[in-house]
Amino acid sequence: MAQIERNFAWPDTIKNYFIGSVLSEGGSAPAPQAPAKTWVDMVNEIQKAALSSRLGIPMIYGIDAVHGHNTVYNATIFPHNIGLGATRDPALVKKIGAATALEVRATGIPYTFAPCIAVCRDPRWGRCYESYSEDPKLVEQMTEIIPGLQGSIPPNSLKGVPFVAGKKKVAACAKHYVGDGGTVLGINENNTITNFHGLLSIHMPPYYDAIIKGVSTVMVSYSSWNGEKMHANHYLLTDFLKNKLHFRGFIISDYEGVDRITTPPGVNYTYSLQTGILAGIDMIMIPYDYPRYFASFTELVNKKVIPISRIDDAVRRILRVKFTMGLFENPYGDYSMANEIGKQEHRELAREAVRKSLVLLKNGKTPVEPLLPLPKKAKKILVAGTHAHNLGYQCGGWTIQWQGLSGNNLTIGTTLLDAVRATVHPSTEIVYSENPDEHFIRNNQFSYAIVAVGEHNYAETVGDSLNLTIPEPGPSTIRRVCRHVKCAVVLISGRPVVIEPYVEHIDALVAAWLPGTEGRGMADVLFGDYGFTGKLPRTWFRTVDQLPMNVGDAHYDPLYPFGFGLTTKPVKTTQ
């Protein structure tokens, strides 16, 4: 029932404490830029220790592969969930799940903490990009990633039973149960205030689909529902999820989630552990202080505070998942899958996802003069902005490191600037300047400009924002460039941000979300090889004072409504 961080997973610890699971926390890798073999070596070493214990039960290794296998160097980084929501394409998302499963298995890992099926109701939340949409129906459709990751359950199989179709698939995890996207002011880990009907109609629907599709595990949310911590909520974990929805996989805590039942966290660990286990949590993501966990747990069992029947339920569920995954038959990682990481077919799939995720918000100062698609053959074009040549910004948080990284040496991929260079006619002169001054812009005769600006990297609480503004010099670059040159602005962000003050200066505006490593997908639609098809997965507000504002609200006055997105036709002629 214990899951510990890989840095503490020494052979003696695994063997003597009967550790059931090991994880890589955000950014935790065996070595910088570690190749597949190094990962498989590490996982197999830990597994060997588990199999040499008295009972010889294999451990299950888990990692956050939330937009591709994002901790691993050279892995394919797909658009974050908000971008996938904009595609409105569940079949594509299923393929992304299958590709991700192959890359995860290539490192010897059989379990991912994905998908996040939060219904983000307030873009001020720092995890909003991990949510497919504000609309529960759209999030439900996107649970199609689960059969991509795990394989499709056989016809006529029992609903709610975990399923993993062999050693090229991985166990999935629906998270964070439940209401994580509905907290007050969008503050991470905060309180979701809604009645039972609100919880059932907004936040619960994606879980029904995930369970019907055989999801192996469910992760509990840090957040509270009407003041009660989800990690302590017996009704929602046991009575509802296990008994009413007939979920037969296991429930896992979030990272130190049990500690956070108290304020401050860990102040009475024995009480927290007791509350969490009795509420129905089966596996505890510890991840460091396992001696404290074992001392507290043993004491609670010896005093008969935690009954053996509760432990039996947890162990039965964990073993059920390990059996259905085939871990007993195939406990070790497979070295022969190394070439799955970042392979061309996966990158092409990611590029397609980028194309389909881009939402065209404005095209031309007037409808009769569209700017997009841009001509590939032009005298001289300007590519500008903080995000035009920054792969780290393009990928966002949860990429190599937990919070993401800035710059171009974090992993292998193509920036927007790289993509433009590869797409335009050889005779077109490209001038790149991150933040050009007025004099420079005036003294060059640019045919048009592409300006890419947006948010800096963040994950979780670090991303909570009450103002949702684009950091400087983004707004200044837009104003300066667009005042003198026809400009297409590409906005790279994890959510809608304040854009209304600049829209009038802009000729064309594209919401690109956090597209990942395949920047060519942006050039594909900007230059008309493909048309724009993406639709807003979220309402785009005018000012933050309107928040929270979601489709269906009585007072709904957005800058761009949910589902909005202009379309263009591909250019058939050679340019």
* CA–CA separation, 145 and 346 (whole Å): 15
Catalytic residue list contains 254: yes
Distances in Å between the Cα of 31 and the Cα atoms of 76, 106, 335, 339, 363 are 19, 16, 17, 19, 46
Catalytic residue list contains 434: no
Question: Residue 133 is which amino acid?
Answer: S
User: How many CA atoms within 13 Å lie on the side-chain side of 389?
Assistant: 12
* CA–CA separation, 52 and 526 (whole Å): 56
Cβ(384)–Cβ(436) under 8 Å?
yes
Question: Which of the following is catalytic: 64, 135, 254, 524?
Answer: 254
Q: Is 339 exposed, middle or buried (0-12, 13-18, 19+ CB in 10 A)?
A: exposed
Residue whose pair of structure tokens reads 């509905």 in the numeric block: 182
Cβ(73)–Cβ(34) under 8 Å?
yes
Distances in Å between the Cα of 265 and the Cα atoms of 8, 182, 187, 258, 281 are 21, 22, 17, 8, 18
Sequence-distant (≥ 6) Cβ neighbours of residue 222 within 8 angstroms: 176, 180, 188, 189, 229, 230, 231, 254, 257, 260
Alpha-helical regions (H) of 169-258:
196-198, 205-212, 234
SS3 at position 61? strand
Alpha-helical regions (H) of 381-486:
391-395, 416-423, 438-442, 474-484
* Backbone phi, psi, residue 462, to 5°: -60, -30
Question: Which of the following is catalytic: 103, 140, 209, 460?
Answer: 460
**Cis before 178 (ω within 30):** yes
Active-site residue numbers?
254, 460
